[in-house]
Amino acid sequence: MKKLPVGIQSFSELVRKDYLYIDKTREIHKLLTLAGKYYFLSRPRRFGKSLLVSTLNELFTGNRELFKGLWIEDKIQWETHPVIHLDFTRVAAGSPEQLEETLCRLLEEKATHLGLSLAPARYSSEKLRTLIEKAAVQTQAVVLIDEYDKPIIDHIDNLETAVANRNVLKQFFGVLKSLDQNLHFVFLTGVSKFSRVSVFSDLNNLNDITVDDNYAVLLGYTQEELNRYFSGHIDALSKKLRISRHHLLEQLKLWYNGYSWDGDHFLYNPFSILNLFDKKRFGNYWFATGTPTFLVNHIRSRNRNIMELENVKVDDATFECYDLDNLEVVRSKRVVSKAFPCRLHHTRAGNFARKLISGTGFDPETKNIGQYLVEKFS
């Protein structure tokens, strides 16, 4: 069995060190062929966004050898583009001034990596414009932005800072539209989805694929992928727990399956599955590290009783009006906010969908594993 890539977000490291990779390149191919070149995707934390962005980076850099044996290897014309990959988890944003400063520094690092130099500029948006124009002299550039919303989310409890940072980002992202002739592909990810009239009003040609049926299984593991890629791990764990493979798969569904962005395909959370097979015990792995703290704090600050949010349904249009001035808590099959777009079956295995019951570990009499009973939804 190949090594489990727990915590690894670099596609090149994953491939070169022979870690297990669930081939998502068929889904990635859709991004390159279906519609346009400006994309936005929102998914929860610990769901594979950074690995996806890293994979796109290697693909557009033309590192074909890393894709040997994968679905996409012979499906595209391999080209090399200058890639501007910005990881916003590296951006300090305690104030709009600090945000501007760290964005400028990050852009200077990217310029150096591409063999370019940037003149001093007052605003990060000016540096971004210059970097793209210089990078795209010979061939169009690619811009990949991971966790675009971190400078906002980190300060959601301080609206003054959050709004100021949002305004910086609005100007920063707005540059992209005016540089269309210089850009081959643009992809942004985040854990939240702010309305287009707030952060992305100047980038109104962005294709939001968050709940697009074409990309429903772009991230997360399908049942077929779990059975195919983790077969050896499933057998090893069922042997350790002294239960049948069939019963173990039932427990896996109970614990970790249920994320859906189209209501038809249900997915396993990658972080939970990898940790399960690594530690060989069931646990609340996503809840421990991926819970959106700002959402929990927001619910508490409104003195909301979670039970009052039971069975509240919203449609896609509701998410389009989410903004810092409109932070009402809603629920779609589980407690979420408008920051977390979902269809009616966002998750059966999410952190707010569990009911605490007594007992821990594996019960040999009931054949139930763990401490939580997942609330069933129709």
For the segment 336-350, the average pLDDT, to the nearest whole number, is 36
**For residue 186, what is the enclosing H or E element?**
strand 183-190
For the segment 124-142, the average pLDDT, to the nearest whole number, is 97
Strand-pair category, 267-268 with 257-259: antiparallel
pLDDT exceeds 70 at position 319 = no
Q: How many Å is the Cα radius of gyration of the chain?
A: 21
19 vs 322, more confident: 19
Contacts of 122 (CB under 8 A, 6+ apart): none
pLDDT exceeds 60 at position 351 = no
pLDDT exceeds 90 at position 258 = no
Confidence of residue 321 (pLDDT cuts 50, 70, 90): low
pLDDT exceeds 60 at position 329 = no
The CATH class of the 11-215 domain is alpha beta
Task: Record the pTM.
Answer: 0.84
pLDDT exceeds 50 at position 70 = yes
Mean pLDDT, the chain, as a whole number?
83
For the segment 146-163, the average pLDDT, to the nearest whole number, is 90
For the segment 46-58, the average pLDDT, to the nearest whole number, is 96
**Residue ranges per domain, the chain?**
11-215, 223-289+352-374, 292-337
For the segment 108-132, the average pLDDT, to the nearest whole number, is 96
Contacts of 332 (CB under 8 A, 6+ apart): 312, 313, 314, 342, 343, 344, 346
Q: What percent of the chain has a predicted confidence (pLDDT) above 70?
A: 76
Q: What phi and psi, each to the nearest 5 degrees, are found at residue 206?
A: -75, 130
For the segment 238-253, the average pLDDT, to the nearest whole number, is 96
What's residue 203's pLDDT? 78
